[in-house]
Amino acid sequence: MKFKKIINGFLNGIKHPVSTFKNAVRKSKKNSRKIKDGIINGVTYLFSTVGIVILLAILIFIFKNGFSTLSFDLLTDNYHAKIYNTLLVEDFTFHEYEDPNLKDVYFSSQWGVGFIDTLDNEGVDIVEIAYIDKLSPFMNVIDYGTHEYTSIKVGQQFVKAILDGPNGEFVSVLPKYGAEAVAEGFDLGVIITDMTTSSAGGGIRGSIITTIYLILLTLAIALPLGIGAAIYLSEYAPVNRVTNTIRSMIDMISGIPSIVFGFVGSAVFIPFMNGTIGSDGGSIASGALTLAIILLPVIIRTTEEGLRVVPQSFRNASLALGASETQTTFKVVLPNALGGILAAVLLSIGRIIGESAALIYAVGTSIKDQIAINQSSTSLAVHIWSVMAGDNPNFELSSAISIVILLVVFILSTIVKLVTKRLNKKVEK
């Protein structure tokens, strides 16, 4: 068949030499274009696939490492564990305690207490107190340090205990052999002479609070300044060389690495804050000022963009009704630019949550539980830095914090999209 086709083509070529030649050229052109297009498309697909795979791999790494560590306790616990040294009250009495038969809980029937093997927030094996009977002596103990009545609480970590046996023998209970051994050890004793428990540590509560403080304080400083500047640039400023220079300067500033702002900010704001609000070294306040400077270009440009897309016809209508320029700006233009302003706010929040380099200088790197504006502490991103900077970098905890950050940023960006879509719809309609 193929042979016949070629012969036919050849004969055809002799019969109509010109048109056959033209057809051949067209065919070969068509083919080479097909190949070229194929190569270009193939390369595009390849590159996009590689890009997406890399991004997915990072996400998978973070979720795989961090998901088991992530828990509600991680978000609400303090970073520094609180140690409780306790003694039993002198006139305690034993009762008959019923084993609640909880899963994986080892019960000491002598004391009415259950223990469980678990991991702490940083992924270390620990023994936790999982159950205390209402009548257990553990419900009424004396704190060694403060001499106050208190109780051991479910969820506390068991650190160590020393008991006396019925015949005066000495029983030492340590968590390193697991919850079962701890429960058995307790069953051997009749008097507890010394017991140490601790609250769960390694949590990121302090860093979450610091991050929230930073967001609120930074926005409170940067939004009025940024929106004001945007209104000036978009509504009042004449278009000339000076304002154009200002605009390009603002664009340039947004390209400066944040660590530069970090050390400049700390050189200026830390002494300033030390002098005014009595902080000692880096503080949330100086961090917020530094962040405000970093965010100003973003807020100015985003808001300006929002103001610019407000239709000129609104301004004309307002002015033609005898409104002043100021009234026009604040009653008509600004309300219609809310989408842009909101986008600026949420972009800023994303930047604040994600910023680390600038805050290492301006806020500090030591993780705190008691948060005050004039004290140093860490934001979530710097918390990761602190956890990773030591001798034993903790990938699990870092990944868990990353998941928290990712989720917050994801939620925020979704809100931005939804709200701007809605506001745009309102204006376009």
Partner 1 sequence: MEILFKIENLNLSYGDNHVLKDINMDLYKNQVTAFIGPSGCGKSTLLRCFNRMNDLIDNCKINGILEYENQDVNSIPAMELRTKVGMVFQSPNPFPMSIFDNIAYGPRCQGIKNKQTLNTIVINALKKAALYDEVKDRLKDNALGLSGGQQQRLCIARCIAMEPSVILMDEPTSALDPISTLKIEELIFELKKDYTIIIVTHNMGQAARVSDYTAFFLLGEVVEYAETSNLFKNPKNKKTEDYITGRFG
Residue closer to partner 1, measured from CB, 93 or 240? 240
Among 121, 318, 356, 394, binds partner 1 (CB under 8 A): 318
Residue closer to partner 1, measured from CB, 93 or 313? 313
SS3 sequence of the chain: CHHHHHHHHHHHHHHCHHHHHHHHHHHHHHHHHHHHHHHHHHHHHHHHHHHHHHHHHHHHHHHHHHCCCCCHHHHHCCCCCCEEEEEECCCCCCCCCCCCCCCCEEEECCCCEEEEEEECCCCCEEEEEEEECCCCHHHCEEECCCCCEECCCCCCEEEEEEEECCCCCEEEECHHHCHHHHHHHHHHCCEEEEEEEECCCCCCHHHHHHHHHHHHHHHHHHHHHHHHHHHHHHHHCCCCHHHHHHHHHHHHHCCCCHHHHHHHHHHHHHHHHHHHCCCCCCCHHHHHHHHHHHHHHHHHHHHHHHHHCCCHHHHHHHHHCCCCHHHHHHHHHHHHCHHHHHHHHHHHHHHHHHCCHHHHHHCCCCCCCCCCCCCCCCCHHHHHHHHHHCCCCCHHHHHHHHHHHHHHHHHHHHHHHHHHHHHHHHHHC
| 176 in contact with partner 1 (CB under 8 A) | no
Residue closer to partner 1, measured from CB, 113 or 332? 332
Q: How far is the CB of 422 from partner 1 (least distance, A)?
A: 12
Among 4, 15, 147, 429, binds partner 1 (CB under 8 A): 429
**Which among 63-71, 152-160, 195-203, 329-337 is the span making contact with partner 1, rule CB under 8 A?**
329-337
**Which among 165-173, 313-321, 366-374, 395-403 is the span making contact with partner 1, rule CB under 8 A?**
313-321
Residue closer to partner 1, measured from CB, 210 or 336? 336
Residue closer to partner 1, measured from CB, 1 or 239? 239
| 424 in contact with partner 1 (CB under 8 A) | no
Among 168, 313, 391, 392, binds partner 1 (CB under 8 A): 313
Among 323, 372, 408, 412, binds partner 1 (CB under 8 A): 323
Among 324, 366, 370, 414, binds partner 1 (CB under 8 A): 324
Among 320, 390, 391, 392, binds partner 1 (CB under 8 A): 320
**Which residues here bind partner 1, judged by CB under 8 A?**
239, 311, 313-314, 316-324, 327, 331-332, 336, 426-427, 429
